[in-house]
């Protein structure tokens, strides 16, 4: 090989433009190839079919027909009623009575009615007022009540026309002095109903039994 020795002293050669253009074209070609290799692979555009939902429009039912109008009332027929007015004829005046001078048997005045007979009231004897006996009952002697001694005393009570007691006596004894005395004392505080004779109140004698019931 022949060694070429460059010398700085050699004179510089001018720029070759065709060489520069070729080099630039080669670099641009390499860059284009590199960019094509680096570009992402895009899948072919796929057409997606959209789902189509059929929509049907349903018309609302027609409104119900309006109710029929009420029937018209038939025209009222006014019937003319004739009013018949009856004329009332007053009766003829009564003729005055004919007075005869001769008295008739009917014209004789009847005698006045007899006065009513006085009502006859029944006579009744005097009686004892039960309510007066209940208000003032005879007291049971304590000793006889304790000894279980009982009996019945028959009293004779004399009263006046107002029912007041005038006298009390023992008609039939109970065979116990204390029982007889208790019945006599109670009779002086009793009230009596007077009797009646001829419509007038009268006094009288009333027979009253007084019974002492032994609690034993």
Distance CA 210, CA 135 (A): 14
Torsion from C-alpha of 135, 139, 145, 150, nearest 10 degrees = -80
What pLDDT does residue 54 have?
66
Rounded mean pLDDT for each run of 10 residues along the chain, 216 residues in total: 49 69 84 78 50 64 78 64 58 68 57 69 82 87 91 94 92 94 93 89 92 85
Reduced to 3 states (helix: H, G, I; strand: E, B; else coil), residue 171 is: strand
Residues 96-134 as b/e (b if ≥16 CB within 10 A, e otherwise) read eeeeeeeeeeeeeeeeeeeeeeeeeeeeeebebeeeebe
In order of start, what are the domains of the chain with their CATH numbers? 127-212 (3.30.2420.10)
Residue 62 has a pLDDT of 76
Q: What is the dihedral of CA 131, 132, 136, 139, to 10 degrees?
A: -80
Which DSSP helix (H) or strand (E) runs through 134?
A: helix 130-135
pLDDT in the model for residue 53? 66
CB 138 within 8 A of CB 212: yes
DSSP state of 59: P
Q: What is the pLDDT at residue 94?
A: 75
pLDDT for 130: 85
Q: pTM value?
A: 0.44
Burial of 159 (0-12, 13-18, 19+ CB in 10 A): buried
Residue whose tokens read 């006065």: 115
Q: What is the pLDDT of residue 9?
A: 47
């Amino acid at each position: 090989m022949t060694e070429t020795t460059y010398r700085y002293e050699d004179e510089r050669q001018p720029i070759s433009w065709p060489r520069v253009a070729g080099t630039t074209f080669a670099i641009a070609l390499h860059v284009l190839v590199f960019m094509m290799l680096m570009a992402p692979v895009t899948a072919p555009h796929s057409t997606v079919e959209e789902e189509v939902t059929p929509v049907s429009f349903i018309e609302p039912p027609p409104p119900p027909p309006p109710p029929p109008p009420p029937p018209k009332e038939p025209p009222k027929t006014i019937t003319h009623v004739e009013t018949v007015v009856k004329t009332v004829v007053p009766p003829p005046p009564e003729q005055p009575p004919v007075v005869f001078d001769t008295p008739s048997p009917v014209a004789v005045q009847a005698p006045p009615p007899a006065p009513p007979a006085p009502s006859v009231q029944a006579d009744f004897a005097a009686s004892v007022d039960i309510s007066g006996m209940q208000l003032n009952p005879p007291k049971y002697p304590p000793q006889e009540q304790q000894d279980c001694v009982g009996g019945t005393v028959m009293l004779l009570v004399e009263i006046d026309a107002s029912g007041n007691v005038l006298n009390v006596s023992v008609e039939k004894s109970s065979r116990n002095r204390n029982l007889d005395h208790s019945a006599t004392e109670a009779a002086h505080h009793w009230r009596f109903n007077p009797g009646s004779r001829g419509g007038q109140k009268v006094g009288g004698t009333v027979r009253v039994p007084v019974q002492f019931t032994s609690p034993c």
